[in-house]
Chain A
Amino acid sequence: MATKVTTPKPDQLVTSIDFTPPKTGWMDTPTIIKPGTFCWGAKGKNLATVEFPNARDWNPSDQDWKLPENWQEIFLKGMEDLLGKYRSFKVFMDICVRCGACADKCHFFIGSGDPKNMPVGRAELLRSVYRKYFTASGKMLGKVAGARELTVDVLKELWYYAYQCTECRRCSLYCPYGIDTAEITIMCREMLNLLGLNTDWISGPVANCYMKGNHLGLEPHAIMNSIEGMIDDIETVTGVRVNPSFNRKGAEILFVTPSGDLFADPGTFTCMGYLALFHELGLDYTWSTYASEGGNFGFFTSNEMAKRLNSKIYAEAKRLGVKYIIGGECGHMWRVLHQYMDTWNGPADFLEVPVSPITGTRFDTAKVLKMIHITEFTADLIKHGKLKLDPSRNDDLVVTYHDSCNTSRGMGLLDEPRYVIKSVCNNFYEMPENTIREQTFCCGSGTGLNASENMELRMRGGFPRANAVKHVKEKHGVNMLANICAIDRATLSASMDYWVPGVRVTGVHEMVANALIMKGEKERETNLRGEPLPGKEGN
């Protein structure tokens, strides 16, 4: 017989646990530092190598962060200095009207749902301290004026969220006042640096780079050895033995790329792409085992450190007497070079305006920097019909392109990579408009957040990008995600593995070399990864 049931109330069903978060204002909602979202603290020896303050081993999950006694004074003095030095920082602290236009534009907010990851929320964490110590209303009215005391807990919160921002600048695109939260994070990290609050994943590479020229601390023989391995692999695949030179004085061009390309898959295949292309062109270029890192993790610590690490690029160009520099496929390397190198290490008046020796094109856009991006160089070659290409060798690929935040928003390199990809692949599909070009979503792991201990954070931040990839996979069968950034190549591989299995990751020049018909090559059976070319599967 049917009976009317007495129904338990919703909350009676899951009585023991309350899943509804407390409805407190952000200042009263304490920040809990959770495993999976933060990177390990820096090691004292790495901080000492570069003479960073408060060098000691420390662990963010410990209660005691081993701060100097006068930490508050140091932090506030640092803030005062930066406010005086950078007008933009002062303006960004003052002018936000909390309109909320940026609120839902950050991949970390979108993926985590944590309101302190809204760009306006992230900035407010620091702004509240600014108000307390640097504005009359904040000094007098305190909390009513949105001001708060800089306590140890507040410091920890600042640290936690400064390392949940990839300085991607997506939010700044939507702010009617042009407030760039990335710059606020940069300033915040610089102040935290004064207290030795660096992460291991950043300070290790910084120390290595300072001592050996690259993030991994590879010495010249290890670099040459790795490239020799690639030369063997290129010969196996193409039958052509390429013959690059190292540290060669008098070469026309110096080539600088992130060290990830030398050792980390799939970047290594991109690197083979550069080697094959330059060989085919007979380019008069050299590698340097000293300027062996295009990336610059110093940029994630302090302006001064970034400048120190970057100086080797012009210094090496000068020592070798080259005419100009070509840079490989990297993201933040280009942001740093494009926006800071001339001010930091210039003027590069010993170099010439880059002119392609193959096409005669003069790259006037690089008149000051004297350095061009390899996709600019290759796009120009293709435009002038200088490469013999067989795109059908990439017919097993259905490709989409991820704009790295740095090359797109940081330097406006939008069309060259696309032009190159479309010239070497027959199947290309764009992701939705609001996720590409200037509006691109970050990979979720930039600015030194690509460690493994913070994998949950990386996956949250990577979700909006991955979600758009999933869409083109379902709609067009996309199976390859191309990009021009070494960090993307590493971190998007992880992100795809979690969110969109079946989509792999590639640099653009890997596909160029696969399509490139080289003089004297044998009939190719496989691509650079050693997988059969389309139509050769049975061999």
Chain B
Amino acid sequence: MTLETFLSEKKPAIAEKWFHLILATYPADTSNFLKNQKDRFTNPVGHTIHQGIEEILDELIHVVDIGKVSPFLDSILRVRAVQDFTPSQAVSFIFSLKSVIREELEGDKNFAVSPGELRELDSRIDSLALASFDIFERCREKLYEIKANELRRMTFRLVQRANELGGEPDAESPPERKQ
């Protein structure tokens, strides 16, 4: 059996354990809610994490195409980027996957993984983590951009009229403007 087959078989168990580990980074009352509330509109955080890790695992089992996996990392990190986490806490959930998979390997006496395969898997997880740091950073940058845009939207017309009255030639008029 290859590691790939092993991981495919164990995927439901891995996903479940990984999900629980991620939820454990929230206070107890919250993690119960995130775990048990199944309505995706009442529990968007739990739903997003759950769906995201399923998709990430699918990718990880085969080859990691960062382009493909990015949207799923993004959906989880976008949430964690505005919650009470430091960058390392926000991204830590990727590393916890290593321990989840190792536990599964340890628990299965019929399969022995080759060190090469394991190293390769670790490096795939590392590449997910690196991508995650970039995504997290982009989310944080987006917040700054939104603050700036909001200010522009709030004052656009004031500035525009002031410029027009002052004869400034560079005031754009809304009919030419795209939002």
Contact = CB atoms under 8 A, between A and B. Distances in A.
Interface of A: 1-5, 7-10, 13-14, 17, 19-21, 23, 29, 34, 36, 103-104, 109-115, 118, 222, 225-226, 229, 233, 236-237, 260, 262-266, 268, 432, 434-435, 452, 455-456, 459-460, 463-464, 467-468, 471, 490, 493-494, 497-499, 504, 526, 529-531
A110 B173 CA distance: 41
Given A7-B103, A266-B153, A464-B44, 19 more contacts: A2-B112, A3-B114, A4-B112, A10-B21, A14-B92, A17-B92, A20-B24, A20-B25, A36-B82, A110-B42, A111-B44, A113-B27, A114-B27, A114-B84, A237-B175, A265-B156, A452-B151, A497-B149, A530-B177
B66 to A, nearest CB: 20
Given A3-B114, A17-B88, A499-B78, A115 B161 contact: no
B179 A225 contact: no
B161 to A, nearest CB: 5
B115 interface: yes
Contact of A19 (B45, B92, B153, B178): B92
Interface string B149-161: 1110111111011
Nearest to B155: A263
Given A23-B28, A229-B157, A529-B177, A13 B78 contact: no
A497 B78 CA distance: 12
A36 B173 CA distance: 34
Interface of B: 21, 24-30, 33-34, 37, 39-45, 47-48, 78-79, 82-84, 88-89, 92, 95-96, 98-100, 102-103, 105-106, 112-115, 118, 139, 142-143, 145-147, 149-151, 153-158, 160-161, 164-165, 173-179
A490 B154 CA distance: 8
Give the secondary structure class of B's interface. helix
Contacts of A497: 142, 145-146, 149
Contacts of B40: 467, 471
A114 B31 CA distance: 10
Contact of A13 (B99, B139, B153, B179): B99
A152 B23 CA distance: 32
B90 to A, nearest CB: 10
B150 A467 contact: no
A504 B179 CA distance: 9
B160 A10 contact: no
**Interface core residue of A1, A222, A467 (most chain B CB under 10 Å):** A467
A226 B25 CA distance: 50
Contacts of B146: 455, 494, 497-498
A322 to B, nearest CB: 27
Nearest to B80: A113
Contact of B154 (A2, A264, A460): A264
Contacts of A111: 44-45, 79, 82-83
B41 to A, nearest CB: 5
A111 B113 CA distance: 40
A22 to B, nearest CB: 8
Given A5-B102, A497-B146, A226 B161 contact: yes
A110 B43 contact: yes
Nearest to B24: A20
Contacts of A109: 30
B80 to A, nearest CB: 10
Contact of B179 (A264, A265, A494, A499): A265
Given A10-B100, A497-B146, A233 B174 contact: yes
Given A112-B83, A263-B155, A263-B158, A104 B177 contact: no
A498 B143 contact: yes
B174 to A, nearest CB: 6
Contact of A112 (B84, B158, B179): B84
Contacts of B176: 530
B35 to A, nearest CB: 12
Contact of A262 (B79, B149, B157, B177): B157
10 contacts: A5-B113, A7-B105, A7-B106, A17-B92, A111-B83, A452-B151, A456-B143, A504-B179, A530-B173, A530-B175
Contact of B150 (A4, A110, A434, A490): A490
A103 B83 CA distance: 18
Contact of B78 (A222, A265, A455, A498): A498
A229 B112 contact: no
Contacts of A21: 25-28
Given A2-B114, A8-B99, A455-B147, A233 B156 contact: no
Contact of B42 (A104, A226, A237, A530): A104
B41 A435 contact: yes
A79 B175 CA distance: 53
Contact of B161 (A229, A467, A494): A229
A499 B100 CA distance: 30
B102 A19 contact: no
